[in-house]
Amino acid sequence: MGAAPAPLWRAVAPAVRAALVPVAAFVVALGGLGAWAASGAAGSPAELEVTGGRMLLPFDGGETAAFFQVRNTGGADDELLRVEVPSAREAMLSRNVERDGAGTMEMLGSMPVPAGGELAMSHRGMDIMVQGPPKARVGDRVPFVLHFRESGAVEAVAEVVRPGS
């Protein structure tokens, strides 16, 4: 009777060894997910802070540009989709690029705001083109509404500044 368990173990041992690989992978993955959740990043939504709003002093009411800093301290990416300026005719997302040695403007469908990162608009990169801006003087504050894919509408204010300041 003592010899019967050995053949059974030999028959089961390959199946047990084959099962160890996926079980070990599961334990490692579960440990990684647990560490990620414990760090506070798991499932945390985008958390946006919009600061540094500036709008260039419009010349003759034609068009101008506005810039914001958008910081995302959350655990998920977000995306700026569109901008409203209640006192202007229209606002569009744009980017300044160089083609064949000349600067040109390119309209954008959106601007990314990465998790843990920021969207830093500037006159040399991405900005908001404002058409039909309000009559303004240096120091005036102009309200904007920035619309994000995940965070929805965020109200912000841009201070009117002289170009080059």
Give pLDDT tens digits for 72-104: 999 999 999 999 999 999 999 999 888 888 888
Contact 55, 133 (CB under 8 A): yes
Cα 56 to Cα 66: distance, rounded to the nearest angstrom: 6
Query: What 8-state DSSP symbol labels residue 124?
Result: T
Residue 37 is inside which H or E element, if any? helix 5-38
Residues 115-152: tens digit of each pLDDT:
999 999 998 899 999 999 999 999 999 999 999 999 99
Architecture field, domain 48-161: Sandwich (2.60)
Contact 67, 124 (CB under 8 A): no
